[in-house]
A and B are shown apart, each in its own frame.
Chain A
Amino acid sequence: MCGIFGVVGQEKGLVSKLMAGLSKVEYRGYDSAGICISRPEGLDLKRAEGILDNLKQIVGDMEDGYCGIAHTRWATHGPPTEENAHPHCDPQFRVAVVHNGIIENEVQLRQILIEATSNTCFKSETDTELVAHVLAQEVDAECGDAIPDDEQLLAAWRRSLDRFDGSFSLAAVVKGREDVILVARSFSPLILALNDAGYLASDVSCLIGMVKDVFFIEDGDWGLLRKDGMELFDSEGEPVVRESTTLQWNEEDAELGGWPTFMLKEINEQPGVFRSCLQGRLSRDALRGVKISFKPDLVRIIACGTAFHAGLMARHYIEELSGIPCIVDHAHEFRYGTPSGPKALVLGISQSGETADTLAGLMAAQERGYPTLSIVNVESSTIARQSDSILTIRAGPEIGVASTKAFTGQVLGGLLVALRLGRLSNKVRSEELAVINNAARRFPNAMERLLASSQLEKGLKRARRLFHNQDHAFFLGRNSSYPIALEGALKLKEISYIHAEGYAGGELKHGPLALIVDGTPVVVISSDGIIQQKLFGNAREVAARGARVIMIAVEGDEEASAHADVVITVPKTHRLLQPIMHNVVCQLLAYHVAIDRDCDVDRPRNLAKSVTVE
Chain B
Amino acid sequence: MLAAGRGVRLGGLTDSRSKVMLPVAGRPIIEWLLQEMVEAGIERATIVHGYAGARILSSLGSGKTLGIELDFVEQSSPHGTLGAALDAMNSLPLDEDVLILNGDNIVSASAIERLMSADGPSLLIAEHDNPHEFGVVTLNGNMIAAIQEKPQPHESLGRVVSTGALRCPVLWREVFESTVKVGLTGIPDAIRNLLDDDDVEIEAIRTDTWVDVDHPWDLIDMNATLLNAIEHHVSEDADVHPSAVISGIVHISENVVIHPGTVIDGPVHIGPNCEIGPMAVITGSTTVGAGARIGPFSRIRSSFLMEDVQIDSGTWLQRSVIGPASVLRSHVHVDVGETQKIGNSGEFIVRRLGLVTGEACTIGHGVVSAPGTILGSQVTVGRRVRISGEHPSGSDIQSGGV
In chain B, what residue has the closest Cβ to A258?
Answer: B72
Q: Within the assembled complex, what's the spacing in Å between the Cα atoms of A265 and B62?
A: 12
Measured between beta carbons, the chain B residues less than 8 angstroms from A258 are 47, 49, 56-57, 60, 62, 70-72
Provide the A441-456 mask, 1 if CB < 8 A to any CB of B, else 0.
1101110110110000
B257 touches A259 (CB 8 A): no
Q: Within the assembled complex, what's the spacing in Å between the Cα atoms of A269 and B52?
A: 13
Which has the most chain B C-beta neighbours within 10 Å: A250, A269, A284, A442? Answer: A442
B72 touches A252 (CB 8 A): no
Q: Within the assembled complex, what's the spacing in Å between the Cα atoms of A257 and B68?
A: 12
In chain B, what residue has the closest Cβ to A209?
Answer: B64
A257 touches B16 (CB 8 A): no
Provide the A440-476 mask, 1 if CB < 8 A to any CB of B, else 0.
0110111011011000000000000000000000000
Q: Within the assembled complex, what's the spacing in Å between the Cα atoms of A39 and B57?
A: 43
Q: Cβ of A244 < 8 Å from any Cβ of B?
A: no
Measured between beta carbons, the chain A residues less than 8 angstroms from B293 are 284, 441
Q: How many residues of A contact B (CB 8 A)?
A: 28
Other-chain residue from A250, A269, A275, A451 in contact with B291 (beta carbon distance below 8 A): A275
Q: Within the assembled complex, what's the spacing in Å between the Cα atoms of A532 and B325?
A: 28
Measured between beta carbons, the chain A residues less than 8 angstroms from B15 are 449, 452
Measured between beta carbons, the chain A residues less than 8 angstroms from B308 are 275, 441-442, 444-445
Provide the A257-296 mask, 1 if CB < 8 A to any CB of B, else 0.
1110000010011001001000110011000000000000
Q: Cβ of A559 < 8 Å from any Cβ of B?
A: no
B16 touches A445 (CB 8 A): yes
Provide the B56-74 mask, 1 if CB < 8 A to any CB of A, else 0.
1110111111000011100
Q: Within the assembled complex, what's the spacing in Å between the Cα atoms of A60 and B28?
A: 41
Other-chain residue from A253, A442, A445, A451 in contact with B54 (beta carbon distance below 8 A): A451
Q: How many residues of B contact A (CB 8 A)?
A: 38
In chain A, what residue has the closest Cβ to B72?
Answer: A258
CB distance from A344 to the nearest CB of B (A): 33
In chain A, what residue has the closest Cβ to B292?
Answer: A441
Q: Within the assembled complex, what's the spacing in Å between the Cα atoms of A48 and B49?
A: 38
B325 touches A284 (CB 8 A): no
Measured between beta carbons, the chain B residues less than 8 angstroms from A275 are 273, 290-291, 307-308
Measured between beta carbons, the chain B residues less than 8 angstroms from A255 are 61-62, 64
B71 touches A448 (CB 8 A): no
B359 touches A257 (CB 8 A): no
Measured between beta carbons, the chain A residues less than 8 angstroms from B272 are 279
Measured between beta carbons, the chain B residues less than 8 angstroms from A259 are 57
Measured between beta carbons, the chain A residues less than 8 angstroms from B51 are 452
Q: Within the assembled complex, what's the spacing in Å between the Cα atoms of A259 and B54?
A: 8
Q: Cβ of B360 < 8 Å from any Cβ of A?
A: yes
CB distance from A440 to the nearest CB of B (A): 9
B57 touches A441 (CB 8 A): no
B273 touches A284 (CB 8 A): no
Q: Within the assembled complex, what's the spacing in Å between the Cα atoms of A255 and B64?
A: 10
CB distance from A439 to the nearest CB of B (A): 10
Measured between beta carbons, the chain A residues less than 8 angstroms from B54 are 268, 451-452
Provide the B21-53 mask, 1 if CB < 8 A to any CB of A, else 0.
000000000000000000000000001010110
Q: Cβ of B87 < 8 Å from any Cβ of A?
A: no
CB distance from A190 to the nearest CB of B (A): 28
Q: Cβ of B233 < 8 Å from any Cβ of A?
A: no
Measured between beta carbons, the chain B residues less than 8 angstroms from A561 are none
A272 touches B360 (CB 8 A): no
A272 touches B255 (CB 8 A): no
Other-chain residue from B62, B257, B327 in contact with A252 (beta carbon distance below 8 A): B62
Measured between beta carbons, the chain A residues less than 8 angstroms from B61 are 252-253, 255, 257
A449 touches B62 (CB 8 A): no
Do A445 and B17 form a contact, CB below 8 Å, given A255-B61, A279-B272?
no
CB distance from A285 to the nearest CB of B (A): 11
Q: Cβ of B102 < 8 Å from any Cβ of A?
A: no
A445 touches B64 (CB 8 A): no
Measured between beta carbons, the chain A residues less than 8 angstroms from B360 are 442, 445-446, 449
Q: Within the assembled complex, what's the spacing in Å between the Cα atoms of A592 and B84?
A: 26
Which has the most chain B C-beta neighbours within 10 Å: A253, A275, A283, A445? Answer: A445
A279 touches B57 (CB 8 A): no
In chain A, what residue has the closest Cβ to B275?
Answer: A283
B58 touches A268 (CB 8 A): yes
Q: Cβ of A438 < 8 Å from any Cβ of B?
A: yes
Q: Cβ of A557 < 8 Å from any Cβ of B?
A: no
In chain B, what residue has the closest Cβ to A267?
Answer: B54
Q: Cβ of B5 < 8 Å from any Cβ of A?
A: no
Other-chain residue from B55, B64, B310 in contact with A441 (beta carbon distance below 8 A): B310
CB distance from B327 to the nearest CB of A (A): 8
CB distance from A269 to the nearest CB of B (A): 6
Q: Within the assembled complex, what's the spacing in Å between the Cα atoms of A225 and B70?
A: 37
Interface members, chain B 304-351 (any A CB < 8 Å): 307-308, 310, 324-325, 327
Interface members, chain A 289-345 (any B CB < 8 Å): none
Q: Within the assembled complex, what's the spacing in Å between the Cα atoms of A438 and B49?
A: 33
Q: Cβ of A150 < 8 Å from any Cβ of B?
A: no
Measured between beta carbons, the chain B residues less than 8 angstroms from A250 are 65
Measured between beta carbons, the chain A residues less than 8 angstroms from B291 are 275, 279, 441, 444
Q: Within the assembled complex, what's the spacing in Å between the Cα atoms of A463 and B58?
A: 25
Q: Within the assembled complex, what's the spacing in Å between the Cα atoms of A445 and B257?
A: 22
Q: Cβ of A251 < 8 Å from any Cβ of B?
A: yes
CB distance from B306 to the nearest CB of A (A): 9
Other-chain residue from A253, A269, A283, A449 in contact with B359 (beta carbon distance below 8 A): A449
Q: Within the assembled complex, what's the spacing in Å between the Cα atoms of A451 and B291?
A: 20
CB distance from B251 to the nearest CB of A (A): 18
B62 touches A257 (CB 8 A): yes
CB distance from A275 to the nearest CB of B (A): 6
Q: Within the assembled complex, what's the spacing in Å between the Cα atoms of A275 and B292?
A: 12
CB distance from A569 to the nearest CB of B (A): 13
B70 touches A279 (CB 8 A): no
CB distance from B287 to the nearest CB of A (A): 17
CB distance from B313 to the nearest CB of A (A): 12
CB distance from A460 to the nearest CB of B (A): 13
Q: Within the assembled complex, what's the spacing in Å between the Cα atoms of A449 and B325?
A: 11
A446 touches B325 (CB 8 A): yes
Measured between beta carbons, the chain A residues less than 8 angstroms from B60 are 257-258
Q: Within the assembled complex, what's the spacing in Å between the Cα atoms of A284 and B294?
A: 11
Other-chain residue from B47, B63, B324 in contact with A445 (beta carbon distance below 8 A): B324
Measured between beta carbons, the chain A residues less than 8 angstroms from B49 are 258
Q: Within the assembled complex, what's the spacing in Å between the Cα atoms of A485 and B360?
A: 28
B307 touches A452 (CB 8 A): no
Q: Within the assembled complex, what's the spacing in Å between the Cα atoms of A283 and B377?
A: 25
Measured between beta carbons, the chain A residues less than 8 angstroms from B359 are 445, 449
CB distance from B98 to the nearest CB of A (A): 19
Measured between beta carbons, the chain B residues less than 8 angstroms from A442 are 308, 325, 327, 360
In chain A, what residue has the closest Cβ to B49?
Answer: A258
Q: Within the assembled complex, what's the spacing in Å between the Cα atoms of A251 and B360?
A: 33
In chain B, what residue has the closest Cβ to A266?
Answer: B58
Provide the A133-151 mask, 1 if CB < 8 A to any CB of B, else 0.
0000000000000000000
Measured between beta carbons, the chain B residues less than 8 angstroms from A452 are 15-17, 51-52, 54-55
CB distance from B66 to the nearest CB of A (A): 10
CB distance from B7 to the nearest CB of A (A): 13
Q: List the 10 closest A-B pairs by CB distance, nearest first.
A: A258-B72, A445-B325, A448-B16, A252-B61, A442-B325, A257-B61, A452-B52, A452-B16, A258-B57, A449-B16
Can you name 25 A-B residue pairings with CB atoms under 8 Å?
Answer: A250-B65, A252-B61, A258-B70, A259-B57, A265-B57, A268-B55, A268-B58, A272-B58, A279-B272, A284-B293, A441-B293, A441-B310, A441-B325, A444-B308, A444-B325, A445-B307, A445-B359, A446-B325, A448-B17, A449-B15, A449-B359, A449-B377, A452-B15, A452-B52, A452-B54
Given contacts A255-B62, A275-B307, 7 further A-B contacts (CB under 8 A): A253-B61, A258-B60, A258-B62, A258-B71, A268-B57, A279-B272, A452-B15
